[in-house]
Amino acid sequence: MTTTETAHSDILATKDPSERLGVRRRTDSALEVGPVDHLADERARLAALEWEHFDATMLASTLGAEITGVDLTTDLDDAVIAELARALADYKVIFFRDQPVTSEQHVAFASRFGELEIHPFIPSNTGIPELVRFEKTAEVGGYENLWHHDVTWRETPSQAAVLHAIEIPPVGGDTLFSDMGAAYDGLSDEMKERIDGLTAHHDFLRAFGGQVPPERMEEMREKYPLAEHPVVLTHDVTGRKLLYVNAVFTADIVGLDPDESADLLWELCRQAATVEYQVRFRWTPDAIAFWDNRAVQHYASSDYWPQRRVMERASIVGARPHA
């Protein structure tokens, strides 16, 4: 008696349903499933990289690597800094464990990669203006659990950021990063053609309007007018096309009516939630994440309330995004 003959009478299938899909990502009902095959080339490229001054262990398919063999509490040679910059461009976000840097060492390391920015709407609380402190408690919850690039409301948004874990909860508080190059590559040809050449407005008021006293609103709006950036930018180092809209700061797409703009933004912003484009970092004391703010969006999981989570961030000033 064959296996088929002994199967339960309620079971109609004789093959795995994925066999008829092959590497297609859409089922008959237009749901995206199955192999995200466009990641393969980038995964293979990253797997072949070799480094002179440190070791790197890939953590996800197209982004994220844990770096070992460097001590960020020391004054690193220029050659090491240059190689770390190349690793950042390749992996999009790099991680370090057991780096008990002081606030001064943190700022000194970040400043090796460029001028540091001062955030007007998040207090430093460290005595060092370039270092922002995120101190979450039972009274001050975490509200960064939305996919976003940092400060895209600036005419020149952050190029990168260095985040240091000062105090972490026993469980939870992970940070996730999503590859915006993979997100762009995964769009249909029709969608790529539709968004080619489009720009979008980015606005600080969407997140930080409540921080501005009414009597200073006109001053802040003059200082930080609506920023207009390409919906798809080109990375200065890698030349990759990157999706550059986010749900926190992107207000609308220029030239579209409000409903069309909202629908298109929803479709584009939700690409960051694709699990195959992501890496999830579980923090340990004195761990550091260093991410390319152009190449990834990030999401701080707010699942640890009422526990404490204390982080410090230094951000590196970037150039104006271009298509």
> What CA–CA distance (Å, rounded) separates 50 from 46?
9
Which residue in 164, 235, 240, 313 is the catalytic one? Answer: 313
Active site residue 194: no
- What DSSP character marks residue 26? B
Active site residue 201: no
Residue 82 in tokens:
């240059």
Indicate which residue of 90, 106, 149, 150 is catalytic: 150
Closest CA to 159 of 242, 53, 42, 272: 242
Say whether 313 is catalytic. yes
Give the list of residues 6+ apart from residue 6 with CB closer than 8 angstroms, or none: none
CB 67 within 8 A of CB 54: yes
Sequence-ordered alpha helix ranges (H) in the chain: 3-6, 40-47, 78-91, 103-111, 180-185, 189-195, 205-208, 217-223, 258-269
- Cα–Cα distances (Å) from 317 to 50, 83, 117, 150, 188, in that order, read 28, 19, 5, 11, 32
Gyration radius of the chain's alpha carbons: 22
- Strand, helix or coil for residue 83: helix
Residue 106 annotated in active site: no
Please classify residue 239 by burial: count the beta carbons closer than 10 Å to its beta carbon, then call 0-12 exposed, 13-18 middle and 19+ buried: exposed
Could you tell me the two tokens for 128? 């060092």
**Residue from 106, 133, 148, 149 carrying the catalytic annotation:** 148
Selecting among 133, 202, 294, 298, the annotated active-site residue is: 298
Q: How many CB atoms lie within 10 A of CB 204?
A: 23
- Parallel, antiparallel, or unpaired: how do β-strands 65-68 and 309-317 relate? unpaired
The contacts of residue 203 (CB under 8 Å, 6+ apart) are 153, 226, 227, 249, 251
State the catalytic residues: 148, 150, 298, 313
